[in-house]
Amino acid sequence: MHGFGGSDVGIEAADPLSAVASLRSLASNNGTTILVLKNFHRFLQSAEVVQAVHRAVVEGKTARTFVVILSPTVQLPTELETLFVTVDHPRPDREQLEEIARGVATAEGELPEGNELQAIIDAAAGLTRLEKLAIQQGSQSQ
């Protein structure tokens, strides 16, 4: 695991329970500790994990430790719903993706134009070929 600023704090989390349990040892009297759990939604079906997360969040209120769960879906168990604030970040639309692409590819000729650019935007939007065809067919029928 890594501390703030990327410094190694020397703790290995071999399983979800040890990751949550490590929060207690990372706590500091003169600072705040944040445990970020990426794709942790996969483990929230286990009663042991849910109980450990619940305990860590409740204890964190006095120890200045926080748990952040990053997940592509929001499926918190009932026991945790009142303990977490859900922040939904919608995916960027096509205009935003093009703006991002133009901000990243700043050298002349680095970013393709026309159909090639649209193909890049499609890929960035996560469209499958079937989804793209459905969109094209829908726009042609209008």
Domain ranges in the chain are: 4-81, 94-140
Least confident residue range of 4-13, 54-63, 99-108: 4-13
Q: How many CA atoms lie within 13 A of 137 on its CB side?
A: 6
> With pLDDT > 90 as the criterion, what percentage of the chain qualifies?
24
pLDDT at 16 over 60: yes
**Sign of the C-alpha dihedral, residues 8, 80, 62, 18?**
negative
pLDDT at 129 over 80: no
Please give the pLDDT value at position 39.
Answer: 85
33-73 tens-digit pLDDT: 899 888 888 899 999 999 999 999 999 998 889 999 988 88
